[in-house]
Amino acid sequence: MMEKILEVKNLKISFRTSGGTVKAVRDISFDLEKGKTVAIVGESGSGKSVTSKAIMGILAGNSIVEGGEILYDGRDLLKISEEEMCKIRGDRISMIFQDPLSSLNPIVKIGNQLTEAMLLKNAGNRKKAKKEFDSVLALLKENCTAAENDSAAVTASVETFEKFNAEAIQMENSYNTALAAADGLQVDMDEFLFLVEKKQKIDPKAKLKEFAAVLKSIKDPFLTRDAESELQAIADKLQQVLSVCPKNTEAGLPDAVTAVLDQLKTCLETVTTRTRPDFFCIGFYKLQKPEADLSKLTVEALNAEAAQYLDEHFMKDFLTMADKGAEHSYRTALEKKNAVMADLQEAYDFFKEGKYDKKTAMEKCKAITEKVEASIDPLEIVKDSTVYTFRTSLEGALQKYFQAVVRNPKEEERYAKQTRRREALIARGRTVDWKVVPKTVYDLDELQAEITTVIQRLMERYKEYIANTGNVDFRVRSTALVEYFKGKASQMVYVVTKKMAREKAIELLEEVGIPEPHIRYYQYPFEFSGGMRQRIVIAIALAADPEILICDEPTTALDVTIQAQILELINRLKEERNLSVIFITHDLGVVANMADEIAVMYAGKIVEYGTAEDVFYDPRHPYTWALLSSMPDLETTEKLDAIPGTPPNMIYPPEGDAFAARNKYALKIDFERQPPQFAVSDTHWAATWLLHPDAPKVEPPKIITDRIARMNKAGGSNA
């Protein structure tokens, strides 16, 4: 089973407009697994963009989130504050917009737009990482002490851990600074040579002096190693060739200068492409053996030796200790979970009964959430969304319920009053040119049921936990903890200077396939063609190394060849970075190559959901049929099956299947009742009454059956 990275549950969103509330998204749920792509397909106005905007937390001001949850990393994105959302948006979840022209700032250079986010996110992350590192380590210490009863040993162990980590961080800091300087020098040099080649007017003397100064400043025992003397020699040579250097470069550079620059280039190449030292291990090695000469070994050998040394002298004991600590924390949490089950049951009954006023309910809610939060295992690295979001979910559900309790009568009153007035006017023979705004009354039973489901869901989750007690591997947990510390430590030293950001931005531009990135970096958006602009937007989206990428019709404004390139680019980046992608489009042809799973949306609901194979080779919902048959492929000669009519007005969503009015296969029941989700296979379901066992058998349109037969034949011959 894959790790679910994002879960959308029962999402309902509407918009307040002058004509009434438009129900844009009506109860949709889907999961996004790590490294997979979910495509959302539908006409404009079907609510696909609204879904993506809800995930990003950028819904328009007149939107109302009527219900549902978007769970990510133990948080409900719909309920967290804007400050918290700001840390996730763009950093962890990134978005590519439809129109590349309007999503770039026209008066800011491409380079600045690319590096902006990197520099902004930088400072906050370091402080946060430090804080998290310390708090988790303190927790571990506490738990270990409790488990071992040997506080002195634990304290000593943790202290060593802290000490050598500090050492490692110091070394890494110096290494990073030197590396940044070297990388920056490389970029500068490339740019310089490029400008010389283009016969631009620059002062080469000043440049060479600058290079020499930077070279002298690059000093780090791990980075330069054996190349240190060489670098110094080159710096000296640079000073020497200054005398033969011309005042401007219109005639090119003399051979002596080019030779030195070439030498510098190869030297920098070897330096910057070296394996990165494993500072975590080396820190310990150095702490224990301060006399050891680290410069003799190659980096690989040093890494290996340090890792082995750390493993033998420290990590073994530390892991055994951490195992115990993790187990202790787990057991305590489990006990609390066991204890809280009864409370949960009681709360469940209490809320099920339905006889409570706001004050008692809120008190009850506070009591139960405190208990539940105490039962969370703090040393669990992979956060369980259901448990972590319990408080926000329960509080949200309760608040909505009590709001409805207050608002419903008011709404009824208003409606009755307006209707009376209207009728009175009509009775007096006046022409009435206004309508009564329809009443929006919430179903109290439904809202109450929501409260209980929140509790029920947690109870089920806890039951699973308790049943699963026997097969928990604590070694996995403790190694995960160590990895966590390592990650946080490297985040602490991760300083992004302007130069580093520029270098990374140029790398990114290269990665997304923009030629001559050094020049492009300093250009404005209008100097790029449509396809190039979209590449820049993708580069900006990737700048912060997100986990989730949302693509909202990224290729609709582009033509076929560029579209194919952009799709290939997104696919490649997804593979390389293990991204999870939500891909939104109205073109099914585009989706075939991209998606692992496809959700077909119509009028704010998902009408069919399945893997790409399911949806393309075995479509079940008439809307999917209509979408597939309304686009010609290369073999199509017969008249196209256009979908008649237009999508329904979502201020008054139709009862039953929303697509029924435009559907020639519609049954009578389609106009009366909302079809449930009928499962076709484990991965495939569709919401249409045609799948009901009692429904008459209906064949998909000929254009589709023909195409599927043809595709199967072609696929068979390929395989």
Partner 1 sequence: MSMNEQNEVLLRVENLCQYFKMGRKVNKAVDNISFDIKKGEVFGLVGESGCGKTTTGRSIIKIYDITSGSIYFKGQRICAGTKSYQDAIQAARKELAELQKNGGDPARKAELEAQIEENRRELQRAKFDHQYSDREYARQLTEAVHTEYKAKLEAAKNSPRETAELKKKYKEELRVAKKTRLITKIQMIFQDPIASLNPRMTVREIISEGLVINGIRDQKYIDEKVYEILEMVGLVREHAGRYPHEFSGGQRQRIGIARSVIMKPDLLIADEPISALDVSIQAQVINLMNDLRDKLGLTILFIAHDLSVVKYFSDRIGVMYFGKMVELATSDELFAHPLHPYTKSLLSAIPLPDPRAEKNRTRITYNALAAHDYSTDLPSMREITPGHFVYCNNAEEQQYKKELGL
Q: Provide the binding-site residues for partner 1, judged by CB under 8 A.
A: 43-44, 529-530, 558-565, 567-568, 586-590, 592-593, 612-613, 616-617, 626-634, 636-637, 639-644, 646, 707, 711, 714-715, 718
Integer Cα distance of 210 and 266 in angstroms: 19
The CB-of-548 to partner 1 minimum distance in angstroms stands at 22
Task: Considering the complex, state which of residue 28 and residue 532 has its C-beta at the smaller distance from partner 1.
Answer: 532
The CB-of-628 to partner 1 minimum distance in angstroms stands at 6
Task: Considering the complex, state which of residue 322 and residue 650 has its C-beta at the smaller distance from partner 1.
Answer: 650
Q: Enumerate residues 6+ apart whose C-beta is below 8 A from 703.
A: 629, 636, 638, 640, 641
177, 172, 182: which is closest to 230 by C-alpha?
182
Task: Considering the complex, state which of residue 170 and residue 683 has its C-beta at the smaller distance from partner 1.
Answer: 683
Task: Considering the complex, state which of residue 180 and residue 612 has its C-beta at the smaller distance from partner 1.
Answer: 612
Residue whose pair of structure tokens reads 């800091």 in the numeric block: 173
Task: Considering the complex, state which of residue 69 and residue 614 has its C-beta at the smaller distance from partner 1.
Answer: 614
The CB-of-101 to partner 1 minimum distance in angstroms stands at 13
701 token code pair: 């349109």
Task: Considering the complex, state which of residue 356 and residue 617 has its C-beta at the smaller distance from partner 1.
Answer: 617
Residue whose pair of structure tokens reads 């582009």 in the numeric block: 558
Task: Considering the complex, state which of residue 269 and residue 568 has its C-beta at the smaller distance from partner 1.
Answer: 568
The CB-of-81 to partner 1 minimum distance in angstroms stands at 37
The CB-of-499 to partner 1 minimum distance in angstroms stands at 34
The CB-of-586 to partner 1 minimum distance in angstroms stands at 5
Task: Considering the complex, state which of residue 388 and residue 625 has its C-beta at the smaller distance from partner 1.
Answer: 625
What Å distances lie between residue 703 and 327, 696, 710, CA to CA? 61, 21, 11
Q: Work out the angle between the directed axes of helices 498-511 and 151-197 (0-180°, nearest 10).
A: 70
Residue whose pair of structure tokens reads 């070439």 in the numeric block: 262
The CB-of-105 to partner 1 minimum distance in angstroms stands at 23
Asked whether 105 and 500 are in contact (CB, 8 A), the reply is: no
Task: Considering the complex, state which of residue 479 and residue 565 has its C-beta at the smaller distance from partner 1.
Answer: 565
Q: Enumerate residues 6+ apart whose C-beta is below 8 A from 302.
A: 277, 282, 294
The CB-of-55 to partner 1 minimum distance in angstroms stands at 23
Task: Considering the complex, state which of residue 316 and residue 713 has its C-beta at the smaller distance from partner 1.
Answer: 713
* 3-class state of residue 655 by DSSP: coil
Integer Cα distance of 279 and 283 in angstroms: 6
Integer Cα distance of 691 and 129 in angstroms: 52
Integer Cα distance of 280 and 296 in angstroms: 19
Element (H, E) at 87: helix 82-88
Asked whether 651 and 439 are in contact (CB, 8 A), the reply is: no
Asked whether 172 and 279 are in contact (CB, 8 A), the reply is: yes
The CB-of-651 to partner 1 minimum distance in angstroms stands at 15
The CB-of-715 to partner 1 minimum distance in angstroms stands at 4
Query: What amino acid occupies position 89?
Result: R
Please tell me the total number of residues recorded for the chain in this structure.
Answer: 719
Asked whether 48 and 41 are in contact (CB, 8 A), the reply is: yes
